[in-house]
Structures are given as C-alpha cells and as structure tokens.
Structure 1
C-alpha cells in the first residue's frame, strides 16, 4: 500500500488520487511538460523498435497515466515502472521519476525498502523474461548484474537523493518551528517578568506612599477644625487636605494602571478608570486649588473643544499640573497663566509664569527630583506629542 499523503486507514483508489490535489500552478506547468516528454520518449522508442505505431501509442498512454499518478501512488507507480523498464527500455526515464517520487513520498523507511526491493525483483524478472534466448545461458550472477544494475542507477540513487532532500527540508521546517516557539516562549517569559515587577512596584507604592498620604490627610483634617486657627490658616489647611486626598486618588489610579499592565488607549465605559474629560474639567480644579493657596492664576481656553482619548486627557492634565507645581516652587507669588488651545490636529497646553514680584521674600530652595520634565516628555511622546520649555522675554518661564 502507498504511504504518500494518505491516511493509514486504507482509503479508496479515488481518494488516493485526490490526495495529491489541488496542484499548485507550478506543479501543473511541470506535469504538463514532463508527462509528454516521458510518454513521447517511450512511444517513439517502442515504435522504432517494433515498427508498430499502435504499440508505441499504447505504451505512451500507459507511461502518461503512470507519470500523472506517481505523486499520489508512489509505491504502485514504482512497481509498475520497474516492470516496464525491465521489459521496455524506452521507459527508463519514467523509472527515474518514479524512484524520485517514491524516495521522497513514502515516509516509513521499512515501506520504502520493501517498495524498492519489490521493484528490483520485478525489474529483474521482467528483464530476464524479455531477454533473448542466447543471453539466458549466462551465469545467474552476470544476469543479475546486467539486469539489476540499471535499476540501482535509475531508481535507487534518485530515491536516496530525494529522500535526503525531503528529510533535510523537514528538519529545517522543524527547526524553524522550534525557533519560533522559543521566541514566543521568551516573549511570554519577559512579559511575565515585567508584570511581576510592575505588581511589585505597585505594591510598594501602595504600602509606602499610601500610608504617608493617609497620615497627612488625617492630620490636616484634624488641624482644620482646630479653633485656634484663623480663617486664612484654616483655608490653607483645607487646601493641603484636599491635595492629599487628590494625591491618594491619583496614587490609587497609578497602582491600578501598573497592575493592569497598560493604560486604555481609547474611550472606556462609564466608571472605568479616570474621567475621559480630564483636560477640560480637572484643570479648572487645579487652577482653583492654586487660587485658594493665594496664587494669581488665569485660565484661558480657545478653539473647538472635543472629546479626547483618556491617554491624551491624562497627559494634558499632568502637563498642567507639573507646570503649576514648578511655578509654585520656583517662582512663588508670580502670576501664572494656563492656556488650553484646541487646534485642528492637536491640543496645546501652556503654563507660563511671570517674574517674581518685587518685595516677595525669597522662598527656600525647592525640593526637586529633577525628573518632572523628563517624565512629561516621555508621557507626551507616548501620545504623539512633544514638550517645549524655556524662559520668557519678561523674565518668567513657560512650559
């Protein structure tokens, strides 16, 4: 039974022939050229040998059928071609092609060995049966060599070459699949390591910063109701308490983002994450908090406001927040202007402060981690934006 592209349950002859189809265009062109060549050689040589056009045509037809079936039925075609080559020398090219197909398409080595051994026996028997009477007197060894030698050259050698080629291609395919699997596994391991590290960072932030912010909120809440404070002091303590509360909410949001491994890149459902209108609404809260702390802050809006993705809104909010924080730290008492400009293809957030007014006492050196602007540049880059900073002609600073 053939073992080329067929299941082991013994399919019918029709299904075996269908196992090699559909043929790609390249194979169709190759068969359209090879089949006439094989049948033509066999038919012409047979006609020249016998002088009978009928015999030549019949042999050419048989060779054409075997040539077309050699891919679906490699073992059967090998046996038939071996018998024909032993009887009709003009079919030697068909034997070469049948040996090549059998070597590459019969998967099990035992079946391949059995097929080539049976083909050798058939070739030997057919050759001895068709040999002239004067050649039958030769010794058995000489007969085997003269009859079986061409089979080894025409069928076995191409079979070994085709089998080596098929096994080499199968090995290369297996190596490629294995390499792709290793790459996928390495990516999964790296992603898992990142997730674990992000979870560890989130837990550390929650345990350390969350505790400190909670203490600040509790103490400022207790201080706010102290009867010894005047209205101005109580208002300042209220600003501190509200700032600590906002910091707690933002810390919780950051921890959630770290644990979820990614920020949402598009609008989400109601109640999922921070407000999607943060750049339009929460900047007002930032300005109000700064005004409550005694700063002179103006807010300007221009352009047609439109909904933005949460990532862009969050970036705009952070830029405004960082700009106000830097102005309070480095230029206390200076007037501040916050501008939101909705342009056709972008949103521009600008925070500018003027020079420190004369007579305002110098503030102590501000505590800075030197990472605020760097973080803003990275945040803006992730949403397709950029950050520009620098002094203004009047002695202030603009972000």
Structure 2
C-alpha cells in the first residue's frame, strides 16, 4: 500500500505540483470552514491536515479515502469540497461493480449517520436530505467517472481491434498478391524462358557457321549476348516475383541493373552500332534499391525508344547527382533523312513511358518526356530516399471481404476467420470490462430510480409534516380565549411536526397545570427568528394564547 503512494512513476513533477496545490487549497478552505462554525483552533487544524492527506492519497487508496472522506464530511464542515473528488477517484479506480457498490453504500450509511449525530437531528427529512446530498456530491461523480473510464477503455479496445484487423487485411492482401505473382512468374518462366533459350542456342550455332563474314559473325555474337542477358534478367525477375529474392539460377552475383550498370548498358548500345555518349556529374551517393533500379530502367527505356524511333541519331545519356535528387536523362537528335519509317504497332507496345511514370511515382519521383530540338528527351527526377512511405500497401478502396478465402494461413489462405461486424461486436461486448460497464450502469440506474422514488415520498412527507406545524395569522386572530378546547383544536393543525419538535421548552413560562400547543407562523422567518403562536388549555377551555419569537 505504501509503495503505491510513494512510487515515483505515479508522481511526475507536474502532477506533484498540482496535487500539492490542490491539497493545500482544500485544507485551507476546510480549516476556515471549521473555524467559521465555531470550533476550536486545534480541531480546525486537525481537520485541515486530514483533508490534505486524504486529497494526496485518494488515487492510490480510493476505497479507504472515500470512506474516510465520507466520515469526515458527515462529522465536520471541512471535507465538503473533497467529497466529489473522492467519489470521482473511487468510481474510476475501484475494480468490480459489487466492490464499488459496497464501498459507496457503506460510505453513504456512515455519512448520513454522522451527519445526523453531529447535528443532533432525528427527523426523516434530514435523513433524506443527507442521502440526497451524498448522492449528488459523491455517487453522481463516481458514476460519471466510472462511465468515462469504461468508455475510454472500450474505445481503446476498439482501436486495438481495428489496428489488428488492418494488419490482418494487409496480410491477406499480401498473400493474394504473392499467389498472383507466383502464377505470373511461372507463366513467364515456362513461355519466355523457353523462347529465349532457343534464341541463344540458335544464335550460338549460327555464330560458328563458316559461311558468315566477320561482320555478320560480329552481329550474331551481339544477338547471342543480348539473348543470354535477357534470359538472366528474366530469371532475376522470376525470382523477385516468386519470393522477393534473386532467382536460383541467377547465381550469387548482384544484378547489374542499377545506376552502376548504366555504363555497361551504354557500351552494349555502342557495340550494337548506336552513336551514344555518357556524361556523369556530381559525387555518387548511396541510393535506395527501388530508386537505383528505376534510374537504370529510365536509361534502358530511353535507349530502346531512340533505337526504335530515331535509328542513327546521336544519343546523349546523362547521370547527375544533384544536392537533393538524382537526375537521369536520355536525349536523342532527329533521325537521318534516309532512315525508313517503322510501323509503330510492330515495334512498340505503347506501355513503356506509362510503366516508367508509375515506377517513378512509387519512389516519389517525376518523369519528363517530350520532343525537343527535333529529337526526343526522356528525363527522370528521383529522390535519394526510398519514397516507400508515399505508397500504401493496401488501397483504401479495397474491400477485405472480397479477398480470396481458400487455403490455409501461411500458404495463401485467409488470416481472418470471421469478418462479420456483428460477431466482432459480440466479442467486444463479451469482455469482462464491457460486462462490468453494463452491470454497473444497470445497478446505477436502479439506485437512481430508487432514490428518486424515495425523494418523491420524502417530499410529500415533508409537505404534510410542514402543514401540521404551520398556522396562518388570520386563524390565530379568530381564536378567542375562553372558547371550548375541542372547538379550538378542530380549527388548528395537530402540531405533530418536526417544525415544533424543539418549541416545547422555548418562550414564556406556561400557565400552571395547562397543556399547550405551539405552532409556527406561516408568514416565514424574520431574519434569524421565527414567530410562534402558543395556545394553552385547562379544564376544557382555552385559557391563554400568546405570540413570541424564537431563534431559528
């Protein structure tokens, strides 16, 4: 218990200052209230000290604090402001509905009993008023705090469940993509791999043909090297599509399709007869894998397009490491007048630039493409970072319930086995805390209804008791001394009321041997005094009626 009070983790500096100021203010107000009530300095100081201590420990010891504050509030005038704070802390920190109900009930009984005992009051009205006071200033804050805490816990549970569903959604989408990628990789390996291998074999056989000239043999060698390189690249792509790694047949060497391999790409183009030059500028910097590969693809696509659409034109390739980004550019001049025009449909699929733009967008870059000076220019502006944070793994418009649901988890199957929101809501509402919230709210509603009914009955009883002790002045003036006792009593209230309970021994001396009836004037109080009408009877007649004032 002492550890919970003195644990430094529960007392950060800002909270410590706030709690000390609050405790000091409550103690000051409580001590002043005791002094104003006519109590001694020693009792006032003790009450102020108790208020300060209870204020500081109300979070660590909620049950003990609530009971102690209830007793202090009932017996003194010092802890009235501390009672709502104790009720709030108790409602928030007491675990279990039955335990909280027992503590609040015990505190209510203790508060009402000490209130009646300290004020020397036994009337039912004061009992009801004390219960209502405790209800408003302790039970209501406790219920509000408990509802707020359990609502916050429920929201946190919903947020955690939502985050879990999002993670599982990404896993399901990733598994669906992996299955599709594996299918595409298998198709590429079975179709393109066979065709490229056949081309490599045929060009290799053609290269050693004795009837070819040296120039023809050199051209065939270039074709064979290109087919072999294409086959290696296909194997790398197939490996990446399957499991995100290099293909098993590609060997241990890293792929050359990065910025460092642009020089080899330019050399291969020059060997094929293209008029191409390479310019490098700036100090090389490390690049993210996606950016590195995108820069290589831009140069590759630019050279391919220049060869298709402007054969024989000079081509300039530039790689510049700028302070904030990498610039890759491929520009070609106009084609010669003797170059035949090629069929666009036969040599181009029309998707190269579209794919480059998408690749650049995914890494946070931009592609520029367009005619310039009679030729064509393709340039890419790529950031040095990965840019992966810009792309979402699962599109917002994807519907989780449309994902495939076959197979087993870990093999392309679903990770979520129940997607019905009603089932998720049942799971949430079936937790212990949620059940506690519902039970607590139900019990609190019953308590409020019971107290409301009790207050209604008490109000009616209070009105009835008040009417038994009040008398209008006109009735007092109409009564004459000497009238029969029964006739006078029939015109007066019974006087059996809490308003007249302490009037028997007040006022002037009663006539000897007479029985008197004291009633309070219905005109109301005059400052600190009440007007009392007294009727004294003897031998069956009214022998005296008097009017006097008493301290209220």
Q: Quick check: TM above 0.5?
A: yes
Q: Among residues 348, 355, 366, which one is paired with 1:375 in the alignment?
A: 355
Q: Among residues 258, 274, 296, which one is paired with 2:256 in the alignment?
A: 274
In structure 2, distance between residues paired with 1:106 and 1:169: 16
CA contact (8 A) 1:278 1:313 kept: no
Cα displacement (A) at 1:245: 0.7
The one-character-per-residue Cα deviations of 1:148-172 (angstroms, maximum 9, x if unpaired) are 4433333222222222222222222
Q: Is 1:390 paired with 2:364?
A: no
Cα displacement (A) at 1:248: 0.7
User: Counterpart in 2 of 1:352?
Assistant: 332
In structure 2, distance between residues paired with 1:188 and 1:181: 11
The one-character-per-residue Cα deviations of 1:34-59 (angstroms, maximum 9, x if unpaired) are 32332233222322333411111111
In structure 2, distance between residues paired with 1:284 and 1:312: 22
In structure 1, distance between residues paired with 2:85 and 2:4: 19
In structure 1, distance between residues paired with 2:313 and 2:232: 28
DSSP-derived class of the 2:369 partner: coil
User: Counterpart in 1 of 2:89?
Assistant: 101
DSSP-derived class of the 1:329 partner: helix
Q: Is 1:211 paired with 2:194?
A: yes
Any unmatched runs of 5+ in structure 2?
247-251, 379-552
In structure 1, distance between residues paired with 2:12 and 2:199: 75
DSSP-derived class of the 1:389 partner: strand
Q: CA RMSD in A?
A: 3.3
In structure 1, distance between residues paired with 2:285 and 2:83: 75
The one-character-per-residue Cα deviations of 1:39-86 (angstroms, maximum 9, x if unpaired) are 233222322333411111111111111111111111101111122222
Question: Which protein is richer in helix relative to its size?
Answer: 1
DSSP-derived class of the 1:388 partner: strand
Q: Among residues 10, 34, 41, which one is paired with 1:46 in the alignment?
A: 34
User: Counterpart in 1 of 2:411?
Assistant: none
Q: 1:251 to 1:148 in 2, by over 3 A?
A: same
Map of 1:297-308 to 2, 5 A cutoff? Answer: 297-301=275-279, 303=281, 306=284
Question: Which protein is richer in strand relative to its size?
Answer: 2
User: Counterpart in 1 of 2:66?
Assistant: 78
Any unmatched runs of 5+ in structure 1?
1-12, 264-269
Q: Among residues 195, 220, 243, which one is paired with 2:226 in the alignment?
A: 243
The one-character-per-residue Cα deviations of 1:292-323 (angstroms, maximum 9, x if unpaired) are xxxx5243546467466465554454344334
Q: Which is greater in Rg?
A: 2
The one-character-per-residue Cα deviations of 1:127-176 (angstroms, maximum 9, x if unpaired) are 344343xx45x5xx566435444333332222222222222222222223
CA contact (8 A) 1:339 1:351 kept: yes
What is the TM-score of this pair, normalised by structure 2? 0.58
DSSP-derived class of the 2:264 partner: helix
Map of 1:93-172 to 2, 5 A cutoff? Answer: 93-132=81-120, 135-136=121-122, 138=123, 144-172=127-155
The one-character-per-residue Cα deviations of 1:197-243 (angstroms, maximum 9, x if unpaired) are 33332232222211211121122223333444444443333222222
Cα displacement (A) at 1:380: 5.0
Q: 1:336 to 1:108 in 2, by over 3 A?
A: same
Q: Is 1:321 paired with 2:300?
A: yes
Q: Among residues 36, 57, 80, which one is paired with 1:92 in the alignment?
A: 80
CA contact (8 A) 1:18 1:72 kept: no
CA contact (8 A) 1:302 1:341 kept: yes
In structure 2, distance between residues paired with 1:337 and 1:226: 34
CA contact (8 A) 2:20 2:56 kept: no
In structure 1, distance between residues paired with 2:222 and 2:349: 23
